[in-house]
Amino acid sequence: MKLLKLLPLAVIVASSCAFAQTPRVLRYAGDSPPRTLDPTQAGTLYSNDIVTSIYDTLYQYKYFKVPYQLEPDLAQSMPTVSKDGLTYTIKIKHGVHFTDDPAFKNGKGREVTAQDFVYSIERNFDPKIHSQGEWLWAGKIVGLDQWAKDGADYQKPVAGLKALDRYTIQIKLTQPYPQMLYTLAMGFSGIVPHEVVDKYGRGFALHPVGSGPFKLVSTNSTQTILVRNKNYRHEVFDLKREGYDPKTESRSGAEKLQGKTMPMVDRVEVDWIQEPSAAWNSFTKGNEVVNGVVDVSQMNEVLASKDPVKLKPEYAKKYNYLVKRESGMVYNLFNFDNDYFGFSKNPKTNAQNKALRCAIIKSFSWPQRINRFYLGIGHAYPGFIVPGTEGFDKNMDRSSITQDIQGAKRLLKKYGWNAHNLPVLYYPTMATVRYRQFYEQFRGNLIKIGYPSNKIKIKTYASFGDFNRDVKNSKTMLVPMAWSLDYPDAQNTLQLFYGPYHSPGSNAANYNNPQYNALYEKTESLQPGPERTAIYKKMNQILVNDCVGIGSFSRTHIYVWHKNVIQWPNNDFLGDKFKYIDVLNK
């Protein structure tokens, strides 16, 4: 699923009196507002966090369990799977209703059925919708791609996607797909009522109606407000079921939540704050947002040490903290649709373009980037497989992530690049101080290899949504991005370079290498094991050899939150985080 994972989670307490308790409010700081709340467009963390709070998915991740493990959400239980791995049969819970809305008869939300799931997955293949989640099931479900080609008529059945009865779903695959269940826990598979889509048309993107624990009150560029779905099904927090380990999680206070009904807060207010300094100021006031991330600008003030990470006593007394490496990566890609970066049928041009890509990579300094913006914590790694997932090779040659100014100069000279014919390079980024600093560091290193300063320009965007729209439309030369794993499998990052997933799909680089594509297709039906691991490593090396981009680095975040937080989720794959949280009085 998913692109830029930066967000931690926390809660705030609402005061109460002896006679009545005021609503409990979670005031949460996020980085960038979602442009849409249509599940088919939940392609950023920001959208997904809100979408999975409003819509049900069939499955979810256990709150504490590591390694990550799925459990039923709307589904009654884990699926029944045929011996050949091609047929999944899933029962859904009875008596679950969509929230009330004028789109329904008498304004009352009707019961969720198996057919709603079928409709919701079909929407991802409707050409009119331009789904960002189609790649998850493309070529996987029998008849679904053909249904789309034939006009996406919702009245016509799909052989591999059926509601056998009101509460039974059947999915038939074209080949074994080991990641199938992961996809059913993602926001792209959020279950949508057709009546609401029909009534609001394009307006549906900002008028979501689901059956999840919360419903939308309002959303804009500065704040998104959710309230508890009072008709949400009875769901109780159970420590054992969620994989609780008192050795590692006792500080969370989770024992106090045992047996409580979810969701536990009455209202969620997400303040979208792009500037780290502004977010920190709001956090430290004590009466605004209660979650924060220690930024490089606060490092000397807040930290007693970096290795190991410890807060100074005065901050440790006021806040809890968690140090965690993200399940994701940051990187910079070239857009292969661009004439100066892409593949060419002309051998000379092709060689020149590759030399330009490789020279730009050689100019980049990961230690410089990490020390300046990531507290100096962590190390970059070659390629695009995240540490901890299958195929990651800690012994991989590191020359692709080592700055080599002289080597870059030699490459440019050898292939005929000079100050006159080098292209004007537009670096796309959001209009914040930090992202401007990213650009200046990138630009400074390019100048060192002889790139003319007047040919390196910045293109700023008001929000991540605006930037991402241009990325999806292949309108940027470069793609500086972060990707948070949608599921714990290296396939989730390797698919970012699969040719058929080009823009507006997940392949923002628009990279299309037949050899790589063939290997990717071969791994799709392979179960985890030595054969698949070897192919993953080979694919990663192809990406490095082709100089597809500058990568990669997994950030280590230092999350801080107020002491009145009962529970702090540390599961990167958790969709709806908000329903698990309760608060204490100060």
pLDDT for 21? 66
Q: How far apart are CA 271 and CA 278, in angstroms?
A: 11
Judge whether residue 2 has pLDDT over 90: no
Judge whether residue 318 has pLDDT over 80: yes
Q: What's the helix, strand, coil split of the chain in %, to 5?
A: 35, 20, 45
What angle in degrees, to the nearest 10, is found between the helix axes of 366-373 and 433-448? 160
Q: Label residue 11 by pLDDT band (50, 70, 90).
A: very low
Q: Is 444 exposed, middle or buried (0-12, 13-18, 19+ CB in 10 A)?
A: middle
What pLDDT digit, counting tens, does each position of 263-306 carry? 999 999 999 998 888 999 999 998 999 888 898 888 889 999 98
* Structural tokens at position 386: 């995240």
pLDDT for 312? 96
In 364-499, where does DSSP find H-type helix?
366-373, 405-414, 433-448, 464-472, 491-494
Sign for the CA dihedral angle at 214, 218, 223, 227 comes to negative
Can you count the helices (H) and strands (E) in the chain?
17, 20
| One-letter identity of residue 262 | M
* Structural tokens at position 107: 């304004």
Judge whether residue 101 has pLDDT over 90: yes
Q: Are strands 80-81 and 70-72 parallel, antiparallel or unpaired?
A: unpaired
Q: How far apart are CA 289 and CA 376, in angstroms?
A: 26
What pLDDT digit, counting tens, does each position of 347-376 carry? 999 999 999 999 999 999 999 999 999 888
Q: Which long-range contacts (CB under 8 A, 24 or more apart) does 122-129 make?
A: 122/147, 122/152, 122/154, 122/158, 122/161, 123/39, 123/40, 123/192, 123/197, 124/40, 124/188, 125/152, 126/152, 127/152, 128/152, 129/38, 129/40
Domains of the chain: 25-268+560-580 (3.40.190.10), 328-554 (3.10.105.10)
Q: Write down the mean pLDDT value for the chain.
A: 91
Judge whether residue 5 has pLDDT over 70: no
| One-letter identity of residue 362 | K
What pLDDT digit, counting tens, does each position of 158-211 carry? 999 999 999 999 999 999 999 999 999 999 999 999 999 999 999 999 999 999
In 191-275, where does DSSP find H-type helix?
194-200, 246-249
* Structural tokens at position 491: 């396939």
**Cα(first)–Cα(last) distance of the chain, in Å?**
38
* 458-482 burial: b if 16+ Cβ within 10 Å, else e: beebebbbbbbeebbebebbbbbbb
Q: Label residue 123 by pLDDT band (50, 70, 90).
A: very high
Residue keyed to tokens 């392949």:
507
| One-letter identity of residue 75 | A
Radius of gyration of the chain (CA): 24
